[in-house]
Structure 1
Amino acid sequence: MSLVWLNGNLCEAAQAHVSLADRGLTLGDGLFETLRVQKGRVCHLDLHMQRLQHGGAVLGLSVPDAATVAQAAQALLQATDVQNGSARLTVTRGVAPRGLLPPQDGGPTVFMTVTAGQAKVSSVSLMTSQTIRRDEQSPLNRLKSLNYLPNILARQEAARAGCEEALLLNVQGRVAETTISTVVLQEGGEFFTPTVGEGALPGVARAVLLQAGMLREEPVSLARLKAAEGLYLINSLSVRQVRVFDGAFVRQSAAGLSRLCAVLDISLPA
């Protein structure tokens, strides 16, 4: 039986209990982070914690510190013997009476789960969502909240159209991100991504590329995206190269893909 870490303790997943009155369940009031696990260790914990702490400040939600998260991950990975895969940390507002205003007392619910697997490199078909836009003015764009309904709707729209992923534009009609990934385009051997101010989530893989000097931030139009020499969707667990975009084939760059994977430390398929 699988194990989870819940409020400071390891327990069997089947025995883990979250109240039906938890605001994470009733209102989506909470945050999460999906962390890559490689060789038994969590990758880029500092970047994940920066985003989690920012999200906690925006929501007025108490989140665990880095030491607590590191200890939880270490205990859970050792107990499950997961060497490669992912760990998901979830923080909710906790149990509270009905109503939108959070209570002044009470504590958060914090839990972590792990899943075995490998970071993946693959190709994907992409379409521009016609129903969902990212509001570039919303403070929620810069955190990972438990409410993913707009992304879910866009992903369903893509599936109905026979595509594997949906591109989200902002209110101004410029590129923001996809439902689960940062958009990276290649031009003349350089890589670009929309700025956070365009509605893009400050992704961890994105931050790694920025820190390495591999990526430049600029507003990106839909036309520019379609003219790119290569188009990639990246997150902590994957690099996906777009092969078809809005029904048209996209140019492929083996060299560009290799450069991105090398910096992100993700192995190309044999």
Structure 2
Amino acid sequence: MLWLNGRLVAAAEARIDPADRGFLLGDGLFETMRAVDGRIPLLARHLARLRAGAGTLGLPVPLGNAALADAATALLRATGLRDAALRLTLTRGPGPRGLLPPAELTPTLLLAAFSLPSPPPPARAAIVAVTRRNEHSPLSRLKSLGYLDNLLAVRAVREVGADEAILLNTAGRLACAATANLFLIEGDTLLTPPPAEGVLPGITRAIVIEQAARLGVRCLETALPPERLRRADGAFLTSSLVGVRALVAVDGEAVAGAAPHPLAQDLQAAWQAHGCES
């Protein structure tokens, strides 16, 4: 069961126009959200990011936040899922051949719900050379539909036995993981690359920064060379579905003894207490 353009439809009956610009050009945005016990604790933050990205692209969002919240609730009820991963996809809708959009837009809005995956083990990552984050592009700070760089990165690290990819930017500095934001721990300080380094401003990333301040932990957004990761006292990844995931190895070498850092565990507990876990 899906929610598509204002109504619930069976997945087998759902239809996206073959001329949809999201399908043809990647002209759109998406948000992946965590539902807990039938509610979406961080929905307002996800919709705020969606609207900000849509503003950058000149892409109208055809429904208000209340209507989108109702659609998500209706989909969860229809699927019978209480704890779920929800994906909201927005495209510019169908248009003529070519890059320029039509004068009159009919955006496509799609909501899909999936069972939450089991919590993953601590991450073992590799720094990839096959692609880079382009910090000069505004798209690096949007959750846009074009994810082929991320796909190439994940494929590359799976070939060397890692389960997550660390991407550098065009200057050779740390940016993020293929599906998560990156944090380092040095002493009693958190470090994370800022959005200007080609980083998506993640929802859980923002919560971790807020919760670190409440715990009295200093957090700096700063440019980071790869060597800082290898000699860090700890590291972790953040994403909306997993929360805080310890990073224990990079390029086959242990990060700080390959044990999850206690601060990462504290921040995961703070993320759960913030309402992201039932």
Say whether the fold is shared (TM-score over 0.5).
Answer: yes
* TM-score using structure 1 length: 0.93
CA–CA separation in structure 1 for the residues paired with 2:156 and 2:120 = 24
CA–CA separation in structure 2 for the residues paired with 1:119 and 1:141 = 28
Residues 233-262 of structure 1: per-residue CA shift (max 9 Å, x gap): 110011322222012111224422321211
User: Where does residue 92 of structure 1 map in the other structure?
Assistant: 91
Moved over 6 A (4+): none
CA–CA separation in structure 2 for the residues paired with 1:24 and 1:107 = 12
CA–CA separation in structure 2 for the residues paired with 1:259 and 1:118 = 22
- Describe how 1:127-166 pairs up with structure 2 within 5 A: 127-166=126-165
Two-structure CA RMSD over aligned residues (Å): 1.7
Checking the alignment, whether the CA contact within 8 Å between 1:34 and 1:87 is kept in structure 2 is yes
Please state how far the C-alpha of 1:118 moved relative to its aligned partner. 5.5
Instruction: Report the 3-state secondary structure (helix = DSSP H, G, I; strand = E; otherwise coil) of the residue aligned with 1:261.
Output: helix
Checking the alignment, whether the CA contact within 8 Å between 1:119 and 1:237 is kept in structure 2 is no
CA–CA separation in structure 1 for the residues paired with 2:52 and 2:9 = 29
User: Where does residue 111 of structure 2 map in the other structure?
Assistant: 112
Q: Determine whether 1:262 maps to 2:265.
A: no
Please state how far the C-alpha of 1:48 moved relative to its aligned partner. 0.8
Q: Determine whether 1:236 maps to 2:234.
A: no
* Greater mean alpha carbon deviation, residues 177-186 or residues 158-167: 158-167
> Unaligned regions of 5+ residues in structure 2, if any?
none
Checking the alignment, whether the CA contact within 8 Å between 2:246 and 2:261 is kept in structure 1 is no
Q: Determine whether 1:31 maps to 2:29.
A: yes
CA–CA separation in structure 2 for the residues paired with 1:203 and 1:69 = 20
CA–CA separation in structure 2 for the residues paired with 1:189 and 1:122 = 24
Percent of pairs with identical residues:
41
CA–CA separation in structure 2 for the residues paired with 1:255 and 1:135 = 33
Higher strand share: 1
Residues 94-117 of structure 1: per-residue CA shift (max 9 Å, x gap): 111110011110210101001122
Residues 146-187 of structure 1: per-residue CA shift (max 9 Å, x gap): 110111111111112221111111111111101110001112
Residues 112-156 of structure 1: per-residue CA shift (max 9 Å, x gap): 001122572521211111121111111111111111011111111
Structure 1: which amino acid aligns with 2:253?
A: A
Please state how far the C-alpha of 1:60 moved relative to its aligned partner. 0.8
> Unaligned regions of 5+ residues in structure 1, if any?
none
